[in-house]
Amino acid sequence: MNAEVRLKGKHKYLFELKERIKLMISNDEDVIFEKIKQMQTFSGMTLYLSVFLSNLQVSFIVMKILGLIEWSWWLVFGPTWIPFVILFLIGLIIGLTTEYIKQRPVMNKLQRETEETLLK
List pLDDT tens digits, range 90-115.
999 999 988 887 777 666 667 777 77
pLDDT at 30: 67
2 and 35 part of one domain: yes
- Which contiguous run of DSSP H or E holds residue 4? helix 3-6
- Report residue 117's pLDDT band, with 50, 70 and 90 as the boundaries: confident
Residue 93 to residue 110: CA distance in whole angstroms: 33
Judge whether residue 64 has pLDDT over 80.
yes
9 has pLDDT over 80: no
Residues 49 and 84 in one domain: no
Please give the tally of structural domains in the chain. Answer: 2
The whole-number pLDDT of residue 11 equals 60
What is the Cα–Cα distance from 88 to 74, expressed in whole angstroms? 18
Tell me: do 59 and 85 sit in the same domain.
Answer: no
- Angstrom distance (rounded) from CA 82 to CA 119: 48
My answer on whether 44 and 20 are in the same domain is yes
Range of the domain at 98: 77-120
Q: What is the mean pLDDT of the chain?
A: 77
Of 70, 94, 109, the residue at which a domain comes to its end is 70
pTM of the model: 0.49
Same domain, 42 and 83: no
The alpha-carbon radius of gyration of the chain (Å, integer) is 24
